[in-house]
Chain A
């Protein structure tokens, strides 16, 4: 079972994030505009409900983006990249941590992931990661 917002072996270059346990931006990005559409015109039974506006971020290159990139260049030290100074390294680490924090607003919820659906055939309380559904159908 996937637990916790962000994990990964110490030193690993890969961060692991369980489904549904990630920050809101991940959730929005993962689920928005996905899934089977049951068209209201096909099924009269579809009810129009009030959906809060959820916008995925659309990336469009713009002058603002260009100027921001140039601004970064302006702020970068002219030090060959294989000779990073210690403050550079520390700065980089702090930046990464701040980014991580900004997108993980749902830490509490993420602690509580549990199997939402279990197998009606075999109960499935063994905590095993494998699927528990019987294959005889």
Chain B
């Protein structure tokens, strides 16, 4: 296309949102973040060199910090990382073409933020519980312990598979329990794919700002009840990444 820069789009916000001067975008040096307004909407963008590859850790972090910081003060629709358009005209075209749908979606996110509950099983604790409660697994464990892998490979695979299946079952149960634990305190929930074989809980929640404290207390209690078994983390507040369906807004 002959030009050297494009506009990296972070997200879409209501038109009254203004980036603060300290907001830093992707790239080296970090791009200045601007709002391009159209009707009731604005797109948060920064200039990005087309030659410079994006996706370094610093770029991803800048993208997320901008969106999460924004979500704390205003509703925001994250735009997928790496979306770069030719220039300001293209941003206007984009906002004009989907104006009402974006505006409706933003209205739904008013005063709402995402929190992700992510827990991981303590491996020994989990296996200890399983062996204590499952005689078949305990019997296999006895055949495995202290024997070299070449001699006990078959038993090891069977035992490992049992453990793996038990983790999956327990994970489903814990995800449901997490959803139940915050029942009435969230607007929506969205289970996430496990990111580790010992993932115990991974669910995103959309929470009304007014309910945040109570929600956090409920998650704390949920974590406390599983203190030894699951290392529980609460990530947020975040922009509503898991509640923007990729294809529902732009066809």
Bound complex: CA of A2 vs CA of B85, how far in Å?
A: 31
Inter-subunit contact B156/A43 (CB<8 Å): no
Kindly name the residue among A19, A36, A92 whose own CB sees the greatest number of chain B CB atoms within 10 A: A36
Give how many A residues have a beta carbon under 8 Å from the other chain's beta carbons: 85
Q: Does B169 sit at the interface, judged by CB under 8 A?
A: no
Pair B73/A19 contact, Cβ less than 8 Å = no
Assess whether A69 is in contact with B163, with CB atoms less than 8 Å apart.
Answer: yes
Q: Are A117 and B17 in contact (CB under 8 A)?
A: yes
Inter-chain contacts of B54 with A (CB < 8 A): 49-52
Minimum CB distance partner of B89 in chain A:
A45
Distance between A134 CB and nearest chain B CB, rounded to angstroms? 7
Most buried by A among B44, B66, B231: B231
Count the A-B residue pairs with Cβ separation under 8 angstroms: how many?
Answer: 314
Contact B220 A14 (CB under 8 A): yes
Decide: A14 near B223, CB < 8 A? Known: A52-B55, A73-B141.
yes
The residue that A59 contacts in the complex, of B66, B67, B116, B195, with Cβ under 8 A, is B195
Are the CB atoms of A119 and B164 closer together than 8 Å? no
Chain A nearest Cβ from B212, distance in angstroms: 8
Closest beta carbon of chain A to B249's beta carbon, Å:
5
**CB neighbours of A78 from chain B (8 A):** 145
B199, CB-defined interface residue at 8 Å? yes
Known A43-B85, A115-B72, A117-B73; judge A29-B64 contact (CB<8 A): no
Tell me the nearest residue of chain B to A72, going by C-beta.
B123
Contact B224 A13 (CB under 8 A): yes
A17→B234 contact, CB < 8 A: yes
Task: Tell me whether B233 and A30 are in contact (CB under 8 A).
Answer: no
Contacts A36-B78, A74-B145, A131-B111 hold; do A19 and B85 have CB atoms under 8 A apart? no
Contact status of A133 and B250, CB under 8 A, knowing A34-B80, A70-B159, A70-B160 = no
Contact B64 A20 (CB under 8 A): yes
Whether A116 contacts B144 by the Cβ 8 Å rule is no
C-alpha spacing A50/B51, complex, angstroms? 7
Residues of B within 8 A of A19 (CB): 64-65, 67-69, 71, 235-239
Would you call A86 an interface residue if the criterion is a C-beta within 8 Å of the partner chain's C-beta atoms?
Answer: no
Could you tell me the distance between the alpha carbons of A67 and B161 in the complex, rounded to whole angstroms? 9
Name the interface residues of B97-145: CB closer than 8 Å to any CB of A. 97, 110-111, 116, 118, 122-125, 127-129, 131-132, 141, 144-145
A residues within 8 A CB of B185? none
Chain A contact residues, CB within 8 Å of chain B: 1-2, 6, 12-22, 24-39, 42-43, 45-47, 49-54, 56-59, 61, 63, 65-74, 76, 78, 80-81, 92, 96, 99, 105-106, 109, 113-121, 124, 129-135, 137
Of all A-B residue pairs in the complex, the 8 with the closest CB atoms, nearest first, are A66-B160, A116-B69, A45-B90, A19-B68, A52-B55, A20-B65, A70-B156, A120-B18
Residues of chain B touching chain A, judged by Cβ–Cβ distance below 8 Å, are 1, 6, 9, 11-14, 16-20, 22-23, 33, 40, 44, 48, 50-58, 60-61, 63-74, 77-87, 89-90, 93-94, 97, 110-111, 116, 118, 122-125, 127-129, 131-132, 141, 144-146, 149, 152-153, 155-161, 163-164, 168, 192-197, 199, 209, 219-220, 223-224, 226-227, 231-239, 241-242, 244, 246-247, 249-251
